[in-house]
Amino acid sequence: MFKAIFTNSFGILISRILGFIRDLFTASVLGANIYSDIFFIAFKLPNLFRRIFAEGAFTQVFIPAFAKTSHKGVFCANIFLVFLSIIIIITLLVNLLPALATKAIAVGFDEETIKIAAPFVAINFWYLPLIFAVTFLSTMLQYKHHFATSAFSTALLNISLILALYFSQDKTQSEIVYYLSYGVVVGGLLQLGVHIIAIYKMGLSRLLIGGFKHLRIKSKIIKRDTKTFRNNFFPAMWGNSTAQVSAFLDTFLASFLVTGSISYLYYANRIFQLPLALFAIATSIALFPRIARYIKNKDEEKALAFLHKAFWFLAFLLTASAIGGFVLSHEITWLLFERGAFNAEDTANTTAVLEMYMIGLLPFGLQKLFILWLYAKEMQMKAAKIATYSLLTYIVFALALISPMGVSGLALAGTIGGFISFTLTIRVFGVQNFLNIIRSKNTIFLIVGSVIFTLLLLFFKDFIASYM
């Protein structure tokens, strides 16, 4: 398990380092203004659909279904064709009506800004069908416990965007956004290419080719499997979408605030996502195929044992990250972004948002671990209800906090929603099961260690700041 977690974490770390270089370059070239807001809007829409429609929900429903079906090749071919067809139709609609798609995610933009942003939205959306194909192939590789290709492939997107920024740095801001948009599509093509190579090397290409070859003849024998998949997918899609829909609403509400607010959310969220991806997401990706197999074989004891180890691994790392990220939020933001067009005021505004995000790092990260149990047991409907309650909580607090706190209030509302989501997930997982995990001397070590670590950071904060 830990070898797979390390592979995922290291791949994500490389990708995030390149991502920060990309963001540093973006902040320096574009700053926090209307054109940076436009690019983040254009890139956010396909990413929103990717995370809701393709990555999380698809993986968490596909792996248990793939493990159970007796006709794996035909099942894969059927699911791939159905999903890809739907995604291509959505992509074509967005390209036919880009202004409408832009207005849907940034209502606060005026007509002139929407007109400028629309072509960038259309270009960026072609990333969606590409990344769905990547997700599909990645899920098959995960089932075979091959994680390296998927973990490292995101770096290709960041490299593509860094090169786009490098070659466009002497261009106008509009031209820079065009370079970035095409860079997104090129990055998607590169990711797809390396996954196709990995599928071939792992010997899975025969399974897929055979599935497509016999799909028409054998489609009836997988009818029950595809029906179960379909019934589980839509609740899973909603259950996975809380954070993404919240991010969509963040952007929607931030578009009514001062120029740069969308960018402050983006930059702060990028920092917040580093420990979340590096530890929580990497662990959940590595753990899920094993938990799904154990539960399929009715061996819950082994599944709980793996969950227990992963919990404490995450609890210590996420707690340290949350404390460090909160206490040193200004220093981190300054170090990463304050240069070029990104000024001291932008640093202060991004810091305020980052602090609110960091409060929720621990519940967000641990919830990703425990939600695996629900999906492995095909409890997608319960996960969907949890997501609904969490989202409603976010909406109530976002509307209440946006006026007194501005853009940082939106981040705090998301954090409160994360606490609700974690609490409700534990109720379904089983309060007694959770108490069995935390009834350990590790709890004392975590509390004492957190206090000592916080005091040390506060003591050395001024010392660190004096060298910045």
H, E, C per residue of 23-65: HHHHHHHHCCCHHHHHHHHHHHHHHHHHHHHHHHHHHHHHHHH
In terms of Cα–Cα distance, which of 320, 414, 321, 310 is closest to 371? Answer: 310
Angular region, 453: left φ>0, alpha ψ -120 to 50, beta rest: alpha
154 near 191, Cβ under 8 Å?
Answer: yes
AA identity, residue 214: H
pLDDT at 56: 64
pLDDT at 79: 87
pLDDT at 447: 94
Give 337's pLDDT tier (boundaries 50, 70, 90). Answer: confident
pLDDT at 1: 55
Cα torsion through 35, 41, 42, 45, rounded to 10: 180
206 near 77, Cβ under 8 Å?
Answer: no
Question: Would you give the DSSP letter of residue 171?
Answer: S
pLDDT at 160: 93
Mean pLDDT of all residues in 48-53: 62
Q: Is residue 38's pLDDT more than 90? A: no
349 near 204, Cβ under 8 Å?
Answer: no
Give 468's pLDDT tier (boundaries 50, 70, 90). Answer: low
Q: Is residue 356's pLDDT more than 90? A: yes
Give 191's pLDDT tier (boundaries 50, 70, 90). Answer: very high
Give 100's pLDDT tier (boundaries 50, 70, 90). Answer: confident
> Model confidence over 202-251: pLDDT tens digits?
888 888 888 888 887 777 788 888 888 878 777 777 776 666 677 778 87
Q: Is residue 76's pLDDT more than 90? A: no
Residue 456 or 15, more confident: 456
Mean pLDDT of all residues in 449-466: 81
> Model confidence over 284-327: pLDDT tens digits?
877 877 787 788 777 888 888 888 888 999 999 999 999 999 99
Give 55's pLDDT tier (boundaries 50, 70, 90). Answer: low
DSSP3 helix / strand / coil % (the chain, rounded to 5):
90, 0, 10
pLDDT at 184: 92
Q: What percent of the chain has pLDDT over 90?
A: 29
pTM for the model: 0.72
> Model confidence over 104-157: pLDDT tens digits?
766 667 788 888 888 888 899 899 899 889 989 988 888 787 878 887 888 898
Residue 33 or 278, more confident: 278
The rounded mean pLDDT for the chain is 84
pLDDT at 50: 63
Q: Is residue 75's pLDDT more than 80? A: yes
Q: Poorest-confidence range of 77-86, 189-198, 225-234?
A: 225-234
pLDDT at 192: 94
pLDDT at 32: 65
Residues 110, 41: Cα–Cα separation, whole Å: 14
Q: Poorest-confidence range of 369-378, 386-395, 431-440?
A: 369-378
In terms of Cα–Cα distance, which of 86, 84, 78 is closest to 221? Answer: 78
pLDDT at 176: 87
pLDDT at 196: 93
Give 43's pLDDT tier (boundaries 50, 70, 90). Answer: confident
Residues 94, 103: Cα–Cα separation, whole Å: 11
Q: Is residue 45's pLDDT more than 80? A: no
Q: What percent of the chain has pLDDT over 70?
A: 92
Residue 68 vs residues 63, 203, 216, 225, 260: alpha-carbon distances, Å: 9, 20, 21, 8, 49
At 301 the three-state DSSP class reads helix
